[in-house]
Structures are given as structure tokens and as C-alpha cells.
Amino acid sequence: MSLSIFYESLNHQDNSDFIHKILLVARHGHGVHNDVMEEVGSEEWKNHWSKLPGDASRTWLDAELVEKGVEQATDLGKMYAEGIRHAGFPVPDTIYTSPLARGLKTTSLIFKEIIVGQGIEFRPIVKEYLRERLTNHTCDKRRTRHWIQASYPDYELESGFAEEDVLWHADQSESNEAHIARTQELLEDVWRHDSGSCIALTTHSFTISTILEVIGAPEFRMGEGAMVAFLVKGEKFNAK
């Protein structure tokens, strides 16, 4: 039995107080910031290079994918398309993406051909809370609303998306507890307002960790350019 058929059977069996959704959680491909971290080491990256916008030859403020990351995301899209054709993998009803450049590009590379091939409009939704944990690293500062709209005109920005990045600050970092709270708010919003059964989320390493925490899944670290499916049971707030 395919995951999508199993999901449908659960929603028919359960009472209306519970809603099951399939979450396809993808991590962006390898970015320029990942290259630099590997070159200089994690401590040197954390203490010095991460606070700079780039060096003489590269920019990692809102880090973009390097060729390795493009290949990872492209290969993942091809693999998932094969799964749809031959193994009953579900086609996402809605795709949500981080506003950071590496997430936006990864979303396109994984899902665009899949969605267009189904005769469906490719219209990912950019959600601020899918971004990486807020630290003083410049790779996690996003670009403007205008840049996103100009670079990805087929993407939809969620309501209230600000022109400038009002969340990132060079002298502040987000606690794990605060990050978990915003991920909880993100998923509650999806369950409350999105009727889709299969939801794709393109995001980042630490945000994936908070998703695992919120949905009660075992903790593990996902590699770059990878994706995992979860079947999640949500309970309505007014159920009791």
C-alpha cells in the first residue's frame, strides 16, 4: 500500500478531531557557506568568517547553492519523480519554502518539473518561519522581498512578508526554545489553513531539528539535498 493511500484510509477511519498530513521535509543543497566552513573549520567559521558577507572571491550573505548543491537538488527531484511514476509517491498539494536563496533554488530544482509535469501550476509559497535559526551568521540574512519576487516570479509570498529582513540581527541569536516555538506556530498555521494532504517544506538543518521536536519524531541529522516523508497526526485545538 502506498503512503498516500494509507494516509487517505487513516483520515477516513479517524474522527473529525484529527487531521493527518504527509510532510515532505527537504533540506537545501550544498551552499557556498558550506564550502567555506569545510575549508576553514567550524570554529574559525563560527568565530570569524560567518560574520562577514564574503571574501575576495565569494559572497555568502544569504548563501546560494554551489554546483554540488545544484546537483544534489536536481538528483533528488529526479529520484522523487521516479517514485511518483513507479512507487506511488504522493505529489505535494502545497509547497512551502524558506525565503533564503538556497532554499528558493532547491525548491525549484526538486519540484518544478514534477509539478508542471502533472499539469499543475508551480506556485510555491515563501514562508518566513521556514528559514534557518536566526544567528549572527550573514548566510542566514535574507534578501529583500523585491529580490525574491524578481528572481522567482512564480513564487507566492505569504501575507505580511516584509520588504527588508526584520528578523535577522548581527548582534542577536535565536534560542532553541524560541526556534521550536516559531516552528510550532508554522505547523499549526499549515494545519489550520491548508486543506492539502501532502505538504512539502524546503528548509534548513536546525529548522528540521525543530520540526522533529514539534511532531515528536526521533532526532537525527539530515544531509544536504535530502528529503524525508513523515505521516503526522494533528489534533484540532477545540477538540476537547
CA-to-CA distance for 181 and 103, rounded, in angstroms?
Answer: 21
CA-to-CA distance for 153 and 176, rounded, in angstroms?
Answer: 33
> Residue 171 carries which side chain, given as an amino acid letter?
D
Would you call 137 a catalytic residue per the annotation? no
The conformational region for residue 216 under phi > 0 = left, psi -120 to 50 = alpha, else beta, is left
Q: Which residues pair with 25 in a beta bridge?
A: 201, 228
CA-to-CA distance for 170 and 141, rounded, in angstroms?
Answer: 9
Widest CA span in the chain: 60
CA-to-CA distance for 197 and 19, rounded, in angstroms?
Answer: 9
Given the residues 28, 137, 179, 204, the one annotated as active site: 28
CA-to-CA distance for 174 and 132, rounded, in angstroms?
Answer: 10
How would you list the strands of the sheet with 198-203, edge to edge? 156-157, 125-126, 94-97, 198-203, 18-27, 227-235
Would you call 38 a catalytic residue per the annotation? no
Given the residues 64, 128, 132, 174, the one annotated as active site: 132
Q: What is the DSSP letter of 171?
A: T
Catalytic residues: 28, 132
